[in-house]
Amino acid sequence: MSIDRVMLLDEHTANRIAAGEVVERPASAVKELVENALDAGATRIRLQLEDGGRALIRIEDNGCGMSRNDAIMALQRHATSKIRTADDLFALNTLGFRGEALPSIASVSHFSLFTRSEEEEAGIHLTVHSGEIESINETAMPCGTVIMVEELFYNTPARMKFLKSTAAELGRSLDIVGQLAVAHPEVSFQVVHRGQDALSTPGNGDSLAPLAAVWGRDTARKLIPVEFDGSGVMVRGFIATPEITRPGRSHELFYVNGRPIKNRVASHALEDAFRALTPESRYPVAAIFITVPAGDVDVNVHPTKTEVKFVRDGDVHHAVSQAVKSALLKYGIVPTVQAAVPDVAFGGAASHSPLPLFSGGSTRHGSMDANSWSQLGVERLETNVAIQPRADEPLSLPEEPRPFAELLREYQVLGQLQDTYIIAKTPRGLAVIDQHVAHERVLYERLTVSRNRNGIASQLLNPPVTITLERREALLLAEHTHSFKASGWEVEKFGGDSFVVRAIPASLSNKPYEQMLRDMVDELVNQSITRRLLVQQDHVLITNACKMAVKAGDPLTVGEMTELLQQLAETENPYLCPHGRPIVVTIGLNDLEKLFKRA
> Is the separation of the CB atoms in 421 and 369 below 8 Å?
no
| 54 and 185 together in one domain | yes
d(Cα 566, Cα 423) in Å, to the nearest integer? 14
| 565 and 534 together in one domain | no
Residue 311's domain is classified under what CATH number? 3.30.230.10
Angle CA(322)–CA(326)–CA(332) in degrees, nearest 5? 155
- Of 297, 313, 330, the residue at which a domain comes to its end is 330
Angle CA(93)–CA(97)–CA(100) in degrees, nearest 5? 160
* Type of residue at 6: V
Identify whether 215 is part of a domain. Answer: no
Residue 568's domain is classified under what CATH number? 3.30.1540.20
d(Cα 17, Cα 15) in Å, to the nearest integer? 6
d(Cα 47, Cα 173) in Å, to the nearest integer? 10
- Of 182, 207, 232, the residue at which a domain comes to its end is 207
Residue 275: burial class (beta carbons within 10 Å; 0-12, 13-18, 19+): middle
Maximum CA extent, the chain = 98
Q: How many domains does the chain have?
A: 4
Q: Considering only CA atoms, which of 75, 71, 18 is closest in space to residue 40? A: 71
| 500 and 378 together in one domain | no
Identify whether 212 is part of a domain. Answer: no
| 544 and 559 together in one domain | no
Identify whether 229 is part of a domain. Answer: yes
Digits of tens for pLDDT over the chain (599 positions)? 566 666 555 544 443 333 444 688 999 999 999 999 999 999 999 999 999 999 999 999 999 999 998 898 888 865 555 444 444 445 555 555 455 778 889 888 999 999 999 999 999 999 998 778 999 999 999 999 999 999 999 988 888 888 999 999 999 999 999 999 999 999 999 999 999 999 999 999 999 999 999 999 989 988 999 999 987 899 999 999 877 888 889 999 999 998 898 889 999 999 988 876 666 678 899 999 999 988 888 775 455 556 787 888 889 999 999 999 888 877 766 666 655 544 433 333 333 333 332 223 333 334 434 343 333 333 444 555 444 444 456 787 777 777 777 888 899 999 999 999 999 999 889 999 999 999 999 988 888 877 667 667 889 999 999 999 999 999 989 988 988 888 889 999 998 899 999 999 887 888 899 999 999 898 888 877 655 555 566 778 888 888 888 999 999 999 999 999 999 998 888 887 887 778 998 888 888 888 888 86
Residue 187's domain is classified under what CATH number? 3.30.565.10
Q: Which domain holds residue 124?
A: 7-207
| 42 and 161 together in one domain | yes
Identify whether 448 is part of a domain. Answer: no
| 560 and 541 together in one domain | no
Spatial neighbors of 280 by CB under 8 A, at least 6 apart, are none
Within 10 angstroms of residue 128's Cβ, the number of other Cβ atoms is 21
Bridge partner list, 459: 504
| 88 and 184 together in one domain | yes
d(Cα 38, Cα 93) in Å, to the nearest integer? 11
Identify whether 447 is part of a domain. Answer: no
Identify whether 213 is part of a domain. Answer: no
| 66 and 151 together in one domain | yes
Whether the upstream peptide bond of residue 463 has omega within 30° of 0, thus cis, is yes
Where are the extended beta strands (E) located within 71-151? 79-80, 110-116, 123-129, 132-139, 144-150
| 15 and 45 together in one domain | yes
Q: Considering only CA atoms, which of 227, 236, 286 is closest in space to residue 256? A: 236
Within 10 angstroms of residue 286's Cβ, the number of other Cβ atoms is 26
| 252 and 358 together in one domain | no
| 150 and 299 together in one domain | no
| 27 and 156 together in one domain | yes
The three-state secondary structure class of 514 is helix
536-540's contacts with Cβ under 8 Å and 24+ in sequence apart are 536/483, 537/480, 537/482, 537/483, 537/486, 537/487, 539/483, 540/480, 540/483, 540/484, 540/486, 540/487
- Of 330, 348, 369, the residue at which a domain comes to its end is 330
The three-state secondary structure class of 541 is helix
DSSP per position, 11-36: HHHHHTS------SSHHHHHHHHHHH
d(Cα 154, Cα 214) in Å, to the nearest integer? 31
Identify whether 352 is part of a domain. Answer: yes
